[in-house]
Structure 1
């Protein structure tokens, strides 16, 4: 294990190994302070970033932040690494990668070049370079990358931002869920997925909700995919019984231990992906997995310890989850950026930074990256902070965001974005929904020729039926 030194203003800072160096170089966040791995001062953080910038990318193939022998996520990352794709950047340091990314992002053909190099990047390389980038750097490079997936709608096309319509209800009342679903559809939400977090993981309740969403989709001929975010094993059980499952959902994390706390393994997730694909329910594509992550999940599970017995910073562990996600070829993946609470991301500044980091890292690794722009009510954050992050993500080319009625999820008890917020960012930045969904809205008279969502007109018979839920 290497030891690194850097002197600043007469003080020499020492970092005992790659794990400690990565943690100390991370922008301040409360989760790393809780784990005891954060830099003790701005000077120490600057010294660590300086050392990290000069570190050769090859280091991340020679040293693992979580041991190969004891962690299946590490084994997946290393064993699937594409040496040929890496050869284009193998001579670079972390700082050199930052310069290379910014140069490529400013040139024609940037999307193809970033796509070509993605299989050669490990999550740890991407996490490292994000730590020495400013917010504008993260936005510029993410904007230049293009990742496209499809099922019944096409996600990630340049100039689009899709939304997950999240019609959660504290008792899974079908009437409440249907009302929230129709509310979102009438305001142009749902083109990424209509996704319900069930109040319980009961197979019966999950089945009822899946039938409800499928009935709405078929009745109004909506080109959209649905998902009930039950545990992957529940979904697999329902698929075997012929329940109409579109997407297979699972929360994942960046270590084997954290995934074990979710009740999943890499082979189980691979099996679920194949089972979903075998149903062949997509019309324009075959991506079937929907994955969620979030900084701090490994720490909250006590599964954040890396090489040398040292705690790994939460942002590096989050990016490792994207390494697992990449092997599952998902339709959608999003970080639920402020959901766990201020113990992990204390305030609006930390949430905004984490959201941009996560989006950049996921997209650079080749994922259709979205963000749940959210916070808990005991965090030092508010809707102004969410407006800021939403706007920045729109500029960065995020694949999708999550929207709930009134920005208040009454079942999960946290604040997110509203359907109106999604309309705002599309209007201000000139973004469109997924093309199949946009065509459906226009055909139903819900949008004008410029793509603007129209007010509900009671005299319009298709909208009257949709609005009344008849």
Structure 2
């Protein structure tokens, strides 16, 4: 039992998961689940009680039972007590204060990451202002590599997302060329296939590999098919750079995706065995989203933001190149409006970075949410200031296959120019070498390489 008094009124919270849920900033998913605070006063009281909670409490009381959940077992059994020792005497409030101090620099935070649990960082995020989330995240640098290096300070990478409603190779290739012309694609060129079967996956993998190899582009490809399809593609000899999978923060939710920790480990080893990276061996790409456990009826009465943080413990286990919170994609049932989407995106980035996860964000919304592109501009700018590893790049910011709104190639250019950010170094060298963008950041579309221009024109004529 946890409790406190505020304004002369006493509040009691039955257990840790109830305290965490009541302390969470308002969002529609927690209301739908029946776990949200009923009033702002109750929420403030829960935040006060949470701030006074020792971090050690998260090692003795779990929000999802240890005996029945392999994600909980991964978190508890994998906890690094030595890394945790410097902050083991802190309360949640002490942790927030220390994170904001100059003592908590990038080196200290990197050393601390294995000692933090998802529930610890989720708790801290619940008592942070927006500026706290940005300032603390900015200190965290999680650097990964495959053919390019993602996450270095002063850099902002993009996933070039050339989706097509029928997986038409001409449409996909045209979008890829368009994105490359605007300096997009250094994090990954990644396709969500319209048809999730092995044949389609293998065809798209060859299409991506042909373009990357033909133009010697220092990036990596990914077809976001189910992990079992990608493993089968590897068996068939397909050119797999990264293996993708959506993941969640409970065993039951992951089972609804058709995965387990053992399956992810098998996929990780299979992808590593191909040895296709040139500057690194981070070969996994994971996507997450607040509300995924609730939508699968696998939330155990835990708030969606805490469960989202637990998904990052799953990701961390397999040393991914990229982790992407698809923040507004699941819909207004979980994040109702622009304000909730903005807060959630900043929380996800904060929690992932503190756990040592290479966080990106699909800054997005569905058309039935109370949000618009101005909200996305705000989240894009805030995440850019916070040091996000990568964002999405989509033609016109409108995904015509998945039917949602996200960030465009132009949006990535805006963020890089306004915030003084640059692409991944290997990709930047390539852009300079082929005449697309100078190393001083100057964008020169008139100097596009003849091969790319010819390919673009042939695609348009064929269409």
Q: TM-score, normalised by structure 2?
A: 0.98
Cα distance change on mapping 1:265 and 1:463 into 2, 3 Å: closer
The superposition leaves residues 100-147 of structure 1 with CA deviations (integer Å, 9 ceiling, x where unpaired) of 1111xx35x811100000000000000000000001101001100111
Cα distance change on mapping 1:15 and 1:54 into 2, 3 Å: same
Structure 2 distance, partners of 1:124, 1:242, is: 40
Equivalent residue number for residue 308 of structure 1: none
Structure 2 distance, partners of 1:304, 1:461, is: 53
- Does structure 1 residue 296 correspond to structure 2 residue 286? no
User: Is contact 1:155-1:434 (8 Å) kept?
Assistant: yes
Equivalent residue number for residue 231 of structure 1: 226
Equivalent residue number for residue 411 of structure 1: 401
User: Is contact 1:13-1:47 (8 Å) kept?
Assistant: yes
Q: Which blocks of at least 5 consecutive residues in structure 1 are unaligned?
A: 306-310
Equivalent residue number for residue 33 of structure 2: 35
The alpha-carbon deviation at position 467 of structure 1 amounts to 3.4
The alpha-carbon deviation at position 13 of structure 1 amounts to 1.1
SS of 2:86 mapped into structure 1: coil
Equivalent residue number for residue 177 of structure 2: 182
SS of 1:456 mapped into structure 2: helix
User: Is contact 1:442-1:451 (8 Å) kept?
Assistant: no
Equivalent residue number for residue 59 of structure 1: 57
Equivalent residue number for residue 431 of structure 2: 441
The alpha-carbon deviation at position 149 of structure 1 amounts to 0.3
Equivalent residue number for residue 450 of structure 2: 461
- Does structure 1 residue 154 correspond to structure 2 residue 154? no
Cα distance change on mapping 1:439 and 1:466 into 2, 3 Å: farther
- Does structure 1 residue 142 correspond to structure 2 residue 137? yes
- Does structure 1 residue 47 correspond to structure 2 residue 45? yes
Structure 2 distance, partners of 1:469, 1:19, is: 57
The alpha-carbon deviation at position 453 of structure 1 amounts to 1.8
The superposition leaves residues 23-63 of structure 1 with CA deviations (integer Å, 9 ceiling, x where unpaired) of 00000000000000000000000000000000000000000
Q: Which blocks of at least 5 consecutive residues in structure 2 are unaligned?
A: none
Structure 2 distance, partners of 1:467, 1:201, is: 27
Counterparts of 1:388-427 in structure 2 under 5 Å?
A: 388-427=378-417
Structure 2 distance, partners of 1:5, 1:60, is: 17
The one of 201, 208, 215 equivalent to 1:213 is 208
Structure 2 distance, partners of 1:414, 1:302, is: 24
User: Is contact 2:248-2:307 (8 Å) kept?
Assistant: yes
User: Is contact 1:182-1:469 (8 Å) kept?
Assistant: no
User: Is contact 2:428-2:439 (8 Å) kept?
Assistant: no
User: Is contact 2:144-2:321 (8 Å) kept?
Assistant: yes
Structure 2 distance, partners of 1:27, 1:9, is: 19
- Does structure 1 residue 25 correspond to structure 2 residue 23? yes
User: Is contact 1:374-1:417 (8 Å) kept?
Assistant: yes
User: Is contact 1:179-1:469 (8 Å) kept?
Assistant: no
SS of 1:189 mapped into structure 2: coil
The one of 349, 364, 375 equivalent to 1:359 is 349
The one of 5, 9, 13 equivalent to 2:3 is 5
Q: TM-score, normalised by structure 1?
A: 0.96
The alpha-carbon deviation at position 229 of structure 1 amounts to 0.2
User: Is contact 1:334-1:372 (8 Å) kept?
Assistant: yes
Structure 2 distance, partners of 1:457, 1:153, is: 23
Equivalent residue number for residue 373 of structure 2: 383
Counterparts of 1:33-112 in structure 2 under 5 Å?
A: 33-103=31-101, 106-107=102-103, 110-112=105-107
SS of 2:10 mapped into structure 1: strand
